[in-house]
Amino acid sequence: MKWWDSIRTRFNAKIKDVEPVSEVQRLVYLAYGHLLMEEYDQAQSVLLEAVQFRSAVEDPETVAFLLTSLESTWIFREQFEDGIAFFSDYISRYSRDFAAYRGRGGVLWYSGRLHEAIEDYSRSLELKPMDIMTLSGRGQVFAELGNHAKAMEDLDLALESLRATPKPDPGWARWYEQIEAFVHNGRGFALGGLGEIERAMDEFQLSIEMSPDNAWVYHNRGRVNDSAGNLERAIEDYEKALEKRKPPLNPLRKEHVRLRLAQLGLNAK
């Protein structure tokens, strides 16, 4: 999931030329500015302040924005345990907020705790069935666990929901394109695991055309090429996976790539 690009393009359409009318909105706009500048420390501080007003916030879109943005700050700074602790405490107080389970699921995924991530994504879907980002996240974690058929079920549902949802303006259209790129990446990895290499490569290519700086799509395509014996292509993809940062690989996957390149007799960057 660079999923901050997808968040900001969606949110930008909502805040353009609008003056804040509450303290929460003021803090959200301030955090939005920090996130645009990739100032994750400052953004997190402001978002945590905004969350203190949760009991007064009635708009579910604002709540989801706050929680998804906080998720991104912990992931981009690789502070996974702090993120998990925050969401666990938050859920103890607001157990009906689907985005909190989705947020903790994302941080658990990046920390390597895949089975726990599945549990949180599943709880999120109980609260908000057919949520596109949750289906995409759970599908990709299923693919990492080797449950490729189950992954395809989630990713197909995410794609179906995406294509059925109207795009009211260009800002939203860009948001959907970014999310669709993540879905195609997951589908490529799952199809590769099912042995459908040609279809997998088509999915990866679609994903790259929509989101060319996502490290995960190169990593996943590299793994499929590696398994298929296409080592030169795998090497190229692994090297790109270490270069791209929107979003970057998590530490476990970076280490996997470096080790694999070393096994292939190369020096990882």
pLDDT-derived band at 176 (thresholds 50, 70, 90) equals confident
- Arithmetic mean of pLDDT, 150-165: 94
- Arithmetic mean of pLDDT, 185-189: 98
What spatial distance separates the first Cα and last Cα of the chain, rounded to whole Å? 23
pLDDT-derived band at 129 (thresholds 50, 70, 90) equals very high
How many residues can be counted in the chain? 269
106 pLDDT exceeds 60? yes
Comparing 75 with 17, which gets the higher pLDDT? 75
pLDDT at 166: 78
- Name the architecture of domain 1-126: Alpha Horseshoe (1.25)
Domain residue limits, the chain:
1-126
86 pLDDT exceeds 50? yes
Q: Distance between CA 116 and CA 105 in Å, rounded?
A: 7
1 pLDDT exceeds 60? no
pLDDT at 6: 46
Calculate the average pLDDT of the chain. 90
pLDDT-derived band at 203 (thresholds 50, 70, 90) equals very high
128 pLDDT exceeds 70? yes
User: Which residue bears the tokens 């490569």?
Assistant: 201
Question: How large a percentage of the chain has pLDDT more than 90?
Answer: 76
What is the number of alpha carbons within 13 Å of residue 88 lying toward its C-beta?
Answer: 10
Would the pTM of this model clear 0.85, i.e. be above it? yes
pLDDT at 22: 82
134 touches 102 (CB < 8 A): yes
Beta strands in the chain (DSSP E): none
- Arithmetic mean of pLDDT, 151-171: 86
95 pLDDT exceeds 50? yes
222 pLDDT exceeds 70? yes
User: pLDDT tens-digit profile of 13-57?
Assistant: 444 444 445 888 899 889 989 988 889 999 999 999 999 999 999
Q: Give the long-range contacts of residues 196-204, CB within 8 A, separation 24 or more.
A: 197/224, 197/228, 200/224
pLDDT at 3: 41
pLDDT-derived band at 99 (thresholds 50, 70, 90) equals very high
Does residue 44 sit in helix, strand or coil? helix
Crossing angle for the helix pair 132-144 and 98-111, to the nearest 10 degrees: 30
